[in-house]
């Protein structure tokens, strides 16, 4: 579900952070890599429930730049090139539209139009619209019902002039009537306006700024200025306090710098002797189930061979990274010199609660800006992102030959599985997820947005729980792609092979449910009914009444496809007329299978009767397997038992020897091994 995140922003002077080598836990090193082609590929026209609109100007084929999508009051608002319109999210039929051409501004040669980059609801029930307006950006209120224009708004951060607006910033205090709106500006191609005095590192921000515990977190990529001899891009996470005013005296000298800005490198890398880093972040998605979790996508830049990755992070761990005084800042004392750690921390103490910055004097503010803005440690990607404290891992998903551009995530679809919808520069939407133990990543399907032979990169994506769909914006149009189209798979085999967490076979059709038959682990390799394979079953044994300390252990080892919930029926091994037997249970999972091992203790010295025992196993769907064995009482003494066991051992040896002789004789075509050996 789309959630507006309202945060504050000022233009910053920013520096850079250095790399810290990766350290991986032994159990986090699995590389979840997918190779093209994908198992299933569809055109959007062939997917039930998929629809598309070209917008108000259907005659214009492309160049519409539908990058801004927002769901408000059962309307989908779309912002593009000189165009703002609303559609019914159910069928994408047009409701209202207005043309908003550029009005004045600076002379330019590229991207000179009015790009609508902010659409958000206001506390007073109106709609906020902001456009680039040929480097003369504006914001104004409109009626949500008919898009009638209302009050123009002024920027509280001053007059900014770059030709695109990224994210709006709304004051939650409705009494201010949104005069406190501030915006961040970028070009159509996402060049940032964040100032570095006209030089590197040229940060390019992605996704929504995130408000968290009184601070605002930004994700971006920029040129790594500490690499003096080459141009290398790093991904970053930066933080600034929402109440930062820049310091009283300091703000009078430079109103565009603030005191609490800090940044660190964001790593997404594949382990190895020389780790491979995905350095260029493309988009983020903050979890709606757990606001601590942030998913991020990364891609290589052309002309390098295309490759992309998905990584995940926790905001509480990123916050702790910034607040931990053991994590040092790094700085460059003079141009051309090596970056080094700051000895005396310029920010002391690093408080959880943001402090008022009005009292920060000029000397301290300058010290902070020069030596306290870049961390020497990195924020690390996590496999087990649902809980804090996990080790750094390889990416959740890696695909070669693909460049990701957008991501949204539908969480906890079934059995805690999160489904990722990933937009690509190739004009496709991928549906992917990790298996139950996160050892394998799977792409369920690829949906091409190719329209009339034309394809264009995915510019934006908006997930809607209420519509059970993902809305996608491109230069050609706006698409509605459903979470699932289970009804398109007519047979049981097709329903299971697709391995879609949304779909299951109910006995007669493929339906959007997890209550029927599913196979989310092995797909085509396992399209049979639920089953239990037993590799070792308990065998009947004797209880010797006259021998103490002689243990009786019985063993059972079974397997079933992962996700079938293999278990002991009623958690009991009944043994009438004797008491039920205690047992120890051990579990494991590997390669799409789950294993159950039982060690059953039959050593009950109090029992004097013969016992008929049963151990029953079950899986979901009602399938069971039972195994019977007996425990027979015996009053032999220890000497008799030892003699009997020796005799049994001799008989076993003789039996094995005869089996070997017979096998050798059969290989010669004779009846006995002696004749075989004597044969010339």
Of the pLDDT bands very low, low, confident and very high (cuts 50, 70, 90), residue 371 is low
Same domain, yes or no, for 499 and 420?
no
Q: What was the pLDDT predicted at 437?
A: 78
CB 123 within 8 A of CB 175: no
Q: How many CA atoms lie within 13 A of 217 on its CB side?
A: 27
Q: What was the pLDDT predicted at 312?
A: 95
Q: 200 or 136: which carries more pLDDT confidence?
A: 136
Q: How many residues does the chain have?
A: 680
Of the pLDDT bands very low, low, confident and very high (cuts 50, 70, 90), residue 402 is very high
Residues 6+ apart with CB under 8 A from 282: 206, 297, 298, 299, 308, 403, 404, 405, 406
pLDDT above 50 (res 184): no
Query: Average pLDDT of 320-340?
Result: 72
Same domain, yes or no, for 223 and 371?
yes
Indicate the number of domains in the chain. 4
Maximum mean pLDDT: which of 268-282, 285-299, 545-559: 285-299
Query: Average pLDDT of 66-70?
Result: 95
Same domain, yes or no, for 271 and 311?
yes
For the chain, give the mean pLDDT.
78
38 within a domain of the structure (yes/no): no
Q: What was the pLDDT predicted at 156?
A: 42
436 within a domain of the structure (yes/no): no
Query: Per-residue DSSP letters for 148-201?
Result: -EEEEE--TT-----S-EEEEE--S-GGGTTTT-EEEEB-TT--B---STTSTT
The boundaries of the domain holding residue 496 are 492-524
H/E element, 43: strand 41-43
Among 601, 616, 634, where does a domain finish? 634
Same domain, yes or no, for 235 and 281?
yes
pLDDT above 90 (res 329): no
CATH number of 546's domain: 2.60.40.10
CB 112 within 8 A of CB 102: yes
168 within a domain of the structure (yes/no): no
Same domain, yes or no, for 467 and 585?
no
Q: 510-512 and 541-544 as β-strands: parallel, antiparallel, unpaired?
A: unpaired
Same domain, yes or no, for 337 and 472?
yes
Same domain, yes or no, for 412 and 345?
yes
152 within a domain of the structure (yes/no): no
Compute the distance between CA of residue 660 and CA of residue 218 in angstroms, rounded to an integer.
73
Of the pLDDT bands very low, low, confident and very high (cuts 50, 70, 90), residue 272 is confident
pLDDT above 90 (res 299): yes
Residues 5-25 have pLDDT tens digits of 333 333 232 222 222 333 334
Of the pLDDT bands very low, low, confident and very high (cuts 50, 70, 90), residue 522 is very low
Of the pLDDT bands very low, low, confident and very high (cuts 50, 70, 90), residue 27 is very low
Same domain, yes or no, for 306 and 370?
yes
Same domain, yes or no, for 477 and 577?
no
Same domain, yes or no, for 594 and 611?
yes
Q: 406 or 331: which carries more pLDDT confidence?
A: 406
343 within a domain of the structure (yes/no): yes
Residues 547-587 have pLDDT tens digits of 777 788 999 999 987 777 889 999 999 999 999 999 999 99
133 within a domain of the structure (yes/no): no
Same domain, yes or no, for 250 and 321?
yes
Q: What was the pLDDT predicted at 182?
A: 39
Same domain, yes or no, for 655 and 602?
no
472 within a domain of the structure (yes/no): yes
pLDDT above 70 (res 175): no
pLDDT above 60 (res 58): yes
Token representation of residue 108: 């330019």
Token representation of residue 6: 């309202």
State the maximum Cα–Cα separation within the chain, in Å, rounded to a whole number.
110
Q: 335 or 99: which carries more pLDDT confidence?
A: 99
pLDDT above 90 (res 112): no
Of the pLDDT bands very low, low, confident and very high (cuts 50, 70, 90), residue 152 is low
Query: Average pLDDT of 48-69?
Result: 89
Compute the distance between CA of residue 182 and CA of residue 166 in angstroms, rounded to an integer.
11
135 within a domain of the structure (yes/no): no
CATH number of 7's domain: 2.130.10.10
Query: Average pLDDT of 532-539?
Result: 90
Query: Average pLDDT of 646-652?
Result: 66
Compute the distance between CA of residue 32 and CA of residue 75 in angstroms, rounded to an integer.
38
């Amino acid at each position: 579900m789309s959630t507006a995140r309202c945060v504050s922003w000022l233009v910053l002077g920013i520096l850079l952070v250095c790399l810290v080598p990766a350290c991986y836990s032994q159990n986090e090193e699995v590389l979840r890599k997918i190779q093209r082609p994908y198992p299933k590929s569809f055109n959007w026209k062939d997917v039930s429930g998929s629809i598309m609109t070209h917008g108000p100007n259907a005659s214009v084929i492309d160049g519409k730049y539908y990058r801004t999508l927002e769901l408000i009051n059962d309307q989908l608002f779309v912002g593009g090139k000189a165009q703002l319109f609303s559609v019914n999210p159910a069928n994408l039929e047009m409701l209202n539209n207005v043309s908003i051409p550029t009005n004045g501004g600076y002379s330019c040669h590229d991207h000179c139009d009015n790009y609508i980059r902010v659409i958000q609801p206001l506390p007073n029930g109106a709609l906020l619209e902001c456009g680039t307006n040929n480097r003369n950006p504006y914001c104004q209120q409109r009626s949500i019902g008919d898009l009638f224009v209302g009050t123009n708004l002024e920027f509280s951060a001053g007059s900014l002039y770059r030709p695109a607006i990224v994210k709006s910033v709304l004051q939650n205090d409705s009494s201010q009537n949104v005069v406190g709106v501030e915006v961040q500006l970028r070009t159509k191609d996402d060049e940032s306006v964040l100032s570095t005095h006209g030089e590197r590192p040229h940060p390019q921000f992605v996704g929504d700024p995130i408000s968290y515990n009184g601070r605002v977190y930004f994700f971006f990529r920029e040129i790594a200025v500490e690499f003096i001899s080459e141009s290398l891009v790093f991904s970053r996470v930066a933080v600034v306090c929402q109440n930062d005013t820049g310091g009283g005296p300091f703000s009078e000298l430079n109103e565009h710098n603030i005191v609490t800005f800090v940044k660190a490198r964001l790593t997404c890398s594949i382990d190895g002797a020389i780790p491979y880093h995905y350095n260029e972040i493309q988009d983020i998605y903050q979890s709606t189930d757990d606001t601590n979790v942030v998913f991020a996508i990364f891609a290589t830049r052309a002309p390098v061979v295309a490759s992309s990755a998905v990584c995940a992070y926790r905001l509480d761990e990123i916050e702790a990274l910034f607040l931990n005084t053991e994590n040092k800042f790094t700085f460059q004392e003079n141009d051309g010199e090596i970056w080094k750690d700051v000895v005396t921390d310029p920010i002391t103490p690093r408080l959880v609660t943001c402090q008022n910055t009005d009292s920060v004097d000029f000397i301290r503010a300058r010290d902070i800006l020069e030596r306290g803005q870049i961390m020497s440690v990195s924020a690390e990607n996590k496999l087990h992102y649902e809980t804090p404290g996990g080790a750094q891992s390889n990416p959740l998903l890696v695909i070669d030959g693909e460049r990701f551009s957008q991501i949204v995530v539908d969480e906890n679809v079934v059995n805690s599985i999160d489904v990722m919808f990933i937009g690509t520069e190739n004009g496709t939407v991928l549906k992917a997820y990790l298996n139950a133990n996160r050892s394998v990543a799977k792409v369920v399907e690829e949906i091409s947005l190719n329209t009339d032979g034309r394809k264009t990169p995915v510019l934006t994506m908006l997930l809607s729980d209420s519509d059970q769909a993902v809305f996608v914006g491109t230069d050609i149009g706006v698409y509605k792609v459903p979470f699932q189209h289970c009804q398109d798979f007519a047979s049981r085999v097709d329903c299971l092979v697709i391995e879609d967490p949304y779909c299951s076979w109910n006995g007669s059709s493929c339906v959007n449910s997890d209550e029927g038959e599913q196979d989310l682990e092995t797909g085509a390799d396992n399209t049979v009914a639920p089953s239990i394979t037993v590799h070792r079953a308990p065998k009947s044994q004797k209880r010797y009444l006259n021998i103490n300390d002689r243990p009786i252990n019985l063993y059972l080892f079974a397997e079933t496809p992962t996700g079938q919930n293999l278990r002991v029926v009623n958690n009991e091994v009944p043994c009438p007329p004797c008491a039920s037997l205690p047992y120890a249970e051990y579990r494991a999972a590997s390669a799409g299978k789950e294993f159950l091992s039982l060690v059953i203790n039959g050593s009950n010295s109090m029992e004097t009767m013969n016992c008929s025992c049963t151990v029953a196993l079950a899986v979901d769907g009602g399938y069971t397997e039972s195994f019977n064995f007996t425990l027979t009482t015996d009053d032999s003494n220890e000497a008799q038992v030892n003699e009997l066991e020796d005799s049994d051992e001799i008989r076993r040896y003789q039996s094995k020897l005869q089996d070997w002789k017979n096998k050798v004789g059969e290989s010669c075509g004779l009846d006995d091994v002696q004749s075989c050996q004597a044969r010339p």
